[in-house]
Amino acid sequence: GSLGSLKPSPLMGVYAASKTFVDYFSSALRYEYKDVNVDVQIISPGFVSTRMTQWTSMKQPSLTTPTPEKFAISSIATIGLSSHTSGYWVHGLQSLFMTTIPRSLYYWIKVTAVDKMKK
């Protein structure tokens, strides 16, 4: 999963759609396998400081862009506590924000952010 699956993402439509598929598929698996003690947890993070983010302005670890190690420790702590998590507390706040603002404002923020990442 990814925070990118929460709303349609201008300039990242295929990425957002693929992440939404992962969320829906994982939710179906969770239901289908619950009776055989298979627990499926969906992790939908924001940016993590990896090679994937090296082309962006978020290439350095920060409060909003944790290191892989910090993210792993945080997300592992959620196992058994939640069926769907952002895995990291700041990403949880970002998720809450993204799901409560109007779609038109989200689109403006998303396009502005993508433009900044390219610079």
Which tens digits make up the pLDDT trace of 71-96? Answer: 999 999 999 999 999 999 999 999 99
* Predicted TM-score of the model (pTM): 0.79
Cα–Cα separations (whole angstroms), residue 16 to 9, 13, 33, 37, 63 = 6, 5, 26, 30, 23
Catalytic-role residue among 15, 24, 31, 33: 15
- The residue-averaged pLDDT of 31-44 equals 95
Q: What is the mean pLDDT of the chain?
A: 89
Domain spans of the chain, in order of start: 3-113
Query: Can you tell me the distance from the alpha carbon of 53 to that of 63, in angstroms, rounded to the nearest whole number?
Result: 15
Residue 6 has pLDDT above 70, yes or no: yes
Q: Are strands 84-85 and 42-43 parallel, antiparallel or unpaired?
A: parallel
Is 15 labeled as catalytic in the residue annotation? yes
Which residue in the block uniquely carries the two structure tokens 């759609």?
17
